[in-house]
Amino acid sequence: MLARQIAGFIKAFPDLVRKAQELGAGAGDQVTHGFIGSLMQKYGLGGRLSDLSSSASDFVNQAVNWVVGFGNSLLAHGAALLDLLSLIVITPVVAFYMLVDWPRMIATIDGLVPPRDRDTVRGIFADIDRALAGFLRGQGLVCLFLAAWYGIGLSFVGLNFGLLIGIAGGLLAFIPYVGSLMVLVLSLLIAVVQGWPSWHLPVEALGVVLIGQFLEGNVLSPKLVGDKVGLHPVWIIFALLGFGSVFGFTGLLVAVPVASALGVLLRFGANRYRRSPIYTGLNAVTAIAGPGEATPPATPKLTEMALGDPVLERTPA
């Protein structure tokens, strides 16, 4: 079914573009001669009708041209598609060899860490591993649920290519906001072209998308992803903006995992700072000993008395 919908979408794409342009021209005529036109004539704004009609038609034409140009750019940059295919082929091979040599690699890296810091470093990497594993598992479940929800929901309301749009949008949901925006735009565009002049199909498609967004933002992501990553949504948005502006599309892919790893390091640094003499005001040995641990025995300290005779005074180190 998915293969048939892909072939049908490629075949029907020129007709969709043509119908969208015709609807844009029709919308301009409706503005000029329909209810809006009569309302503007009533309030003395008839001189603006031609400009408003022209603007509506231009807006629709520009939107259609943008979609067509985006598709042409994807087809023109075939090298990027080949790079993606080669990455898909190479990744399992590299993953296999890494899994085979993983214990030896970890043992080598572990042997480079000073013994006094080995437990601390192991604990940090264990926390990072838990955060990344929780993110991958949680985000994978969110993507599968959204793909099923969008695909089944859009197909149930009768939208053409609903299964294709739903699965593509669900699989792209691992990039925050990209998959949802793609599903929203494509489903509304096809629903308007398919169901015109009735608005039942666009409203039903919009309802499916909004319900999916509600479930993702309020139920799935907080329970399956947010608790595992340990990051505030504002920090996730900042991470997406920063990594996306610096590294482009690749930055969007790695923004949340890298931010979760950095969050583990920052929490570790904040915890050490709270136990440091700078924060507690205690001397170094007491701070290192920690609460509930016995402090080292007092050591002699040579002091000068008022008369100048050296005496030994026992003070905490």
pTM above 0.75, yes or no: no
Q: Are 149 and 129 in contact (CB under 8 A)?
A: no
Residues 6+ apart with CB under 8 A from 204: 157, 191
pLDDT tens readout for residues 252-287: 778 888 888 888 888 888 888 888 888 887 765 454
Q: Which two tokens stand for residue 293?
A: 């641990």
| Cis peptide bond upstream of 316, omega within 30 | no
Least confident among 58-67, 169-178, 180-189:
58-67
pLDDT of amino acid 303: 40
pLDDT of amino acid 66: 64
Please state the rounded mean pLDDT for residues 141-161: 88
Residue in this structure with the two tokens 């308007």, named with its chain if needed: 192
pLDDT of amino acid 304: 41
Please state the rounded mean pLDDT for residues 51-64: 61
Query: Count of CB atoms within 10 A of residue 207's CB?
Result: 12
| pLDDT-derived band at 306, boundaries 50, 70, 90 | very low
pLDDT of amino acid 96: 92
Query: In what helix (H) or strand (E) does residue 129 lie, and over which residues does it extend?
Result: helix 118-156
| pLDDT-derived band at 315, boundaries 50, 70, 90 | very low
Question: In whole angstroms, how large is the CA radius of gyration of the chain?
Answer: 31
| pLDDT-derived band at 230, boundaries 50, 70, 90 | confident
Least confident among 17-31, 49-63, 223-237:
49-63
Higher pLDDT, 85 or 243: 243
Please state the rounded mean pLDDT for residues 57-62: 63
Query: Count of CB atoms within 10 A of residue 217's CB?
Result: 12
DSSP-assigned letter for residue 45: -
SS3 of 109, please?
A: helix
The percentage of residues in the chain with a pLDDT greater than 90, rounded to a whole number, is 3
